[in-house]
Every structure is written in C-alpha cells, then in structure tokens.
Amino acid sequence: MPLGAALNQQVPNPYFGQVTTGNLANRTITRAQSLRPYPHYLNISTFIQSAAWSQYHGLHLTVEKRFSRGFNVLAACTTGKGTDNGAGRIIDVTGLQPPIQNQYDLRAEKSLSQQDVAQRFVVSHTWDLPVGRGRLLGGWSVSGQATFHSGYPVGLTSIGNSGVFSAVLRPNSTGRSAKLEGGPHGRLRRFFDIDAFTVPAPFTFGNVIRALPDVRSPSRANYNSALSKRFRITERFEATFRAEAYNLTNTPFFGYPGTQVGSNDFGVISSAGNARTVQLSGKVAW
C-alpha cells in the first residue's frame, strides 16, 4: 500500500500466453496484480470456512403467572452482548455478512455482532373469555404477544480504493460519536451524524470498526393477537375458528439507514415494513 499510485502502473505479464481469457491474457498487468499472493488468479473465493469466532454473554429472566378462570401471563426479558469477527446476516433485515477489509488482520474485524440485540422483552397472554355458554356462545379465547427489542448495530462502508483488492472499505472516524437522540420518526433523513465519518485517503484502510458500538438501527415494537372460538359439533368432531392480527397496532418497522459514506442515501432511512396483516382460518378435528 505505501507504493500508492505506483500500484496502478502496468508491468510485463509473466503469464502472457498461458492464460487466454480475461485481464491475465494481456501483455501487461497492474503492479498490484503482480504483487498478489497468487498473481496468476484474479480472485479466489471460498465457502463454508471454519474461520470465525463468536462470543455471547446474557441474562434471561422469565416470570409466569397462572390466574383463575383461564387467564395466563408469561413475561420474558433478555439482556446480553454478542461479539464476533464475521457474522452479520439477519434474515429479512440485512443481506449477506459483510466482507473483510484486511484479509491479513482478522483481529481488526472484532466488534459487536451485527446480529446483537442488547435488550428484548416479550409478554404473552391467553384468556379463556368468561362469556357465553353452550355450543354457540361459549368457547371463546383471546391470546396475544407483545415484543419489544433494541435495534441492531449498524455497520458502515465507504467509497474509495485501498488499492489492494479488498472486498470492502470502511470509513475513517473523526473521533466523535455519531449517535443522535430522539425517536426514528424525526431522524429518517439523518438517522445519525454523518459528519462523524470521512472517506479514507487512497491506498489506505478506514479505521472505523465493523459494527458501530453506539449507533443501532431503529428499535422494534410489535403486538400480535388472536381470537378463537371452539365448536363441539358432535362427541367426535370439533371445529375451531381463528382470527389473527399480526402487528395489530400497525407500528412500522423502519429499515436500515444508508450505510455507505459518500453515497447520496448515507444516514437516510428510506424503507419500512411489517404492515398489519389479518387472517381468518378454520379447522375441523376428529
């Protein structure tokens, strides 16, 4: 990397004539290509490596109370911290795990896991409603689950060029926290302080950690509820009707902010999901 712009200079290709396709079929190659560990290959990809580690510490508390007349409540609280040097994919939230900036320094990849949830609180309830009697009016039950959890750590990338074929470039920090106060509704156009980061100079790596320790994606709150009715048709047959509402309060799940320094959407939240969904179902058991 200290060679700087000299890495882009063209030098004789020692593999000319041996490779017949691609850039290595030319008479010259870049000096950077000639200095790679395996210069006769452009890129080498590996899959399913045992090359990463993870660590988790947490505390989980559960409280359950069974009341009379068919009313039950279950509350669970989890607080914890997960660290690793490789994981990052979260189903329906982020894509594949972020690549490594410096293949020769895996220790620099250590950070909060991008799957880390610092706090999670869940309350579930069921209630056999004390209304109605007989086959038509009785047998009603209502249940629900409320979930609250903190967001996921945000990982940043940057435009620019390290000059050494790294799969990702991370930004530099100005030395101050990028965390901003207030709810996400008022920060959709500037979710965190984008001026806390800069594009690294050419032929250098950025010094920002893989997952920021103080900036998380928006927290989430969700309540699912169901109302069901059991019908005893005969001694052998029983039918159940069920009405379910997912995200009953229609609370939006705001997406990730833009994470690339130098892009137009850096720090901007432009998506939301998990709109209310209602479904009706029925079944017969015998």
Between residues 234 and 182, the one the model is more confident about:
182
Q: How far is Cα 232 from Cα 236, in angstroms, rounded to an integer?
A: 8
pLDDT tens-digit readout, 192-251: 999 999 999 999 999 999 999 999 999 999 999 999 998 877 888 888 999 999 999 999
Question: What is the C-alpha separation between 196 and 173, in angstroms, rounded?
Answer: 6
Residue ranges with strand state E in 85-194: 111-112, 119-128, 140-149, 157-158, 172-173
Strands (E), the chain: 10-12, 28-30, 54-66, 71-84, 111-112, 119-128, 140-149, 157-158, 172-173, 197-198, 220-232, 238-246, 253-254, 260-261, 272-273, 277-285
Report the chain's mean pLDDT, rounded to a whole number. Answer: 90
| DSSP-H helix ranges across the chain | 31-34, 134-137
Name the token pair of 18: 């041996």
Residue position matching structure tokens 């610092």: 118
68 has pLDDT over 80? no
Share of the chain above pLDDT 70, in %: 94
> Nearest-CA neighbor of 2 among 164, 158, 157, 159?
164
Place of tokens 């901007």: 268
pLDDT of residue 232: 79
Give CA–CA dist 280/267, Å, rounded: 39
